[in-house]
Amino acid sequence: MTEPEEIVRLLRAHEEGDPGAFSRLVPLVYEQLRRLARHQRRRGPQARSLDTTALVHEAYLKLAGSPGLRIRDRGHLMAVTACAMRQVLIGRARARLRSKRGSGSDPLPLDEQRLPVYVEAEQLLDLDRALDALRRNDERLAQVFECRYFAGLGEEETAEVLGVSLRTVQRGFLRARTWLRAELQGTPVTSEG
């Protein structure tokens, strides 16, 4: 059995409730997951709060705890893992902001070392909120953006994962970026705009 066939077989076994299938799958895609984590970590200081291995493991724990998770193939696995990594980073950004705002501890003086990390965390949360708003408005545009921006997938890979044409991905990514930019600047538009 070829590696892609084995990946699909293990994904199906996981979906059907085999408790060890996901654990047997990870070694087959581990280096790809590490590349994906490195891509996520290059996004900013908040992503660097976890090393590559820790981010892969956090995403693994998140996905392994979902026995009914439906994943079609390797590309779809990478997109779903990128979303899990994004959720891990968002959770850490929220925790960092809670810590900044007190969270039961003594006030910390602002210094130049801490401020940029908090600014980055707030920007990541703003992007997350805008992406949620885009998802409510147009699920496909949000998926295209996540695959391209968070998963670091190329246009062709994104088209394959989402089962759409290359041109649909190209147009969708441009529309999603325009929509998100407007949302982040406080001038929301519809996905048609």
Q: Mind giving me the DSSP string for 110-141? A: P-TTTHHHHHHHHHHHHHHHHHHHHHHH-HHH
Confidence of residue 120 (pLDDT cuts 50, 70, 90): low
- Determine the average pLDDT of the residues in 89-113: 59
Whether residue 107 has pLDDT greater than 60: no
Positive or negative CA dihedral for 69, 124, 39, 55? negative
pLDDT of residue 175: 95
Whether residue 114 has pLDDT greater than 70: no
Predicted structure pTM score: 0.62
Whether residue 144 has pLDDT greater than 60: yes
Q: How many residues does the chain have?
A: 193
The first and second tokens of residue 131, run together, are 């992406």
pLDDT of residue 173: 95
Confidence of residue 7 (pLDDT cuts 50, 70, 90): confident
Identify the residue with better confidence: 38 or 181.
181
Q: Of 64, 117, 113, 57, which is closest to residue 85 (Cα–Cα)? A: 57
Listed by start position, the domains of the chain span: 3-102+111-184
For tokens 């997938």, the residue is: 153
Whether residue 116 has pLDDT greater than 50: no
Q: Of 132, 161, 127, 128, which is closest to residue 144 (Cα–Cα)? A: 161
- Determine the average pLDDT of the residues in 142-156: 84
Check if the beta carbon of residue 129 is closer than 8 Å to that of residue 97. Answer: no
> What is 173-187 written as a DSSP string?
HHHHHHHHHHHHTT-
Burial class (CB in 10 A: 0-12, 13-18, 19+), 155: middle
Confidence of residue 49 (pLDDT cuts 50, 70, 90): low
pLDDT of residue 117: 44
